């Protein structure tokens, strides 16, 4: 009969103390990367499996965090959240956590789900996605001292809670400068209605880049709800009103609509999207790419800091996007 693999077995194999192995399992962020890797290699080599029930009794934690799957829209930008959740699940697993996914059609239903989940599963924390001004979800969790981090800024007060975000303004500014360097001056923007934190941020990057180049953005902006049909409609309006030579879009869905509107237009109009979805890659659309895997990993890092009782709110993380260049730009 094979010998039972215990923490002591792992410790001997990795040449560390049993406490170090316990730290890797329960609070990996406090262990040096080199040591943590050695312990993780030993765990994998020996096939060690922690007794989850015993660990929960000892630490008072379920090692379970929850994240929402958003409703399917046009099937394009949903892939952004899919990639983030995939990275979150992988990173959480490496830190000894499991991710519980739930769905809700709006904020009220999501908040109602919080109570059900907390009562049923004794969750450790939540990871929220898609923050907005006056976000009632973060207020509900904060009022009840439920630990959480967000992928997205608290737009009302940047020090309100721990968060990770991608600098959307930097992304659209980079896209706009790319078009300026290519000789464009009439660079339009297709975005979302004013008041959307993410949309306002992305529009600001385009506007500021034009101002810095001495170009007046007046009349070059159009706004709508997200979607391919909406992007096509607004792009047709722009072609009639201002005849732009290029357009930066707040999403790949809007950009794909713009591409449909400019078919056969001469001279061609350059289009840049945002989010670098698989559809964008398939059609050759230049798009701003978010580091979603890194964003997910940093959310888990912040969350472990919150759960381990840091007295100060962990420093927020603002990541930089990049530009995936293809023939449309």
| pLDDT tens readout for residues 3-52 | 567 777 888 899 998 778 877 876 677 788 889 889 888 888 887 765 54
Structure tokens at 201: 């941020």
Question: How does residue 72 score in pLDDT terms, banded at 50, 70 and 90?
Answer: low
DSSP character at residue 243: -
Angle value at C-alpha 313, between 168 and 136, nearest 5 degrees: 65
pLDDT value for 46: 83
Beta carbons of 98 and 127 less than 8 angstroms apart: no
Give the position of tokens 């959310």. 299
- pLDDT, position 32: 87
Give the pLDDT of residue 57: 41
Phi, psi of 101 (to 5 degrees): -95, 140
3-state secondary structure of 88: helix
The structure's pTM equals 0.80
pLDDT score for 272: 98
3-state secondary structure of 80: helix
According to the model, what pLDDT value does residue 53 have? 43
Strands (E), 87-167: 98-103, 125-129, 148-151, 163-166
Give the number of residues written for the chain: 329
Distance of CA 228 to the CA centre of its chain: 22
Crossing angle of helices 292-307 and 78-94, rounded to 10°? 50
Helix, coil or strand: residue 275: coil
- Render pLDDT for 265-280 as a digit per residue (tens, 0 to 9): 999 999 999 999 999 9
């Amino acid at each position: 009969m094979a010998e039972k693999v215990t923490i002591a077995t792992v410790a001997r194999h990795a040449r560390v103390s049993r406490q170090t192995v316990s730290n890797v399992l329960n609070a990996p962020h406090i262990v040096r990367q080199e040591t943590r890797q050695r312990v993780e290699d030993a765990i994998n080599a020996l096939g060690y499996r922690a007794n989850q029930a015993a660990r929960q009794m000892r630490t008072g934690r379920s090692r379970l965090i929850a994240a929402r799957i958003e409703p399917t829209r046009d099937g394009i930008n949903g892939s952004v959240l899919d990639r983030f959740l995939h990275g979150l699940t992988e990173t959480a697993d490496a830190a000894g956590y499991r991710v519980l996914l739930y769905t809700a059609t709006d904020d009220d239903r999501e908040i109602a789900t919080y109570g059900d989940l907390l009562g049923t599963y004794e969750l450790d924390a939540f990871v929220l996605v898609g923050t907005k001004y006056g976000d009632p979800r973060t207020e509900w969790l904060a009022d009840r001292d439920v630990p959480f981090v967000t992928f997205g800024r608290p737009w009302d007060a940047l020090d309100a809670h721990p968060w990770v975000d991608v600098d959307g303004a930097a992304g659209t500014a980079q896209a706009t400068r790319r078009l300026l360097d290519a000789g464009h001056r009439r660079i339009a923007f297709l975005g979302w209605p004013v008041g959307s934190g993410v949309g306002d941020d992305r529009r600001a990057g385009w506007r500021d880049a034009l101002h810095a180049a001495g170009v007046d953005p007046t009349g070059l902006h159009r706004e709508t709800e997200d979607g391919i049909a909406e992007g096509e409609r607004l792009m047709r309006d722009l072609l009639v009103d201002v005849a732009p030579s290029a357009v930066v879009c707040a999403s790949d869905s809007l950009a794909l609509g713009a591409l449909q509107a400019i078919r056969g237009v001469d001279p061609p109009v350059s289009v840049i999207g945002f989010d670098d979805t698989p559809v964008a890659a398939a059609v050759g659309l230049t798009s701003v790419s978010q580091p979603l895997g890194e964003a997910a990993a940093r959310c888990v890092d912040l969350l472990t800091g919150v759960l381990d009782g840091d007295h100060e709110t962990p420093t927020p993380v603002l990541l930089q996007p990049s530009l995936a260049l293809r023939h449309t730009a």
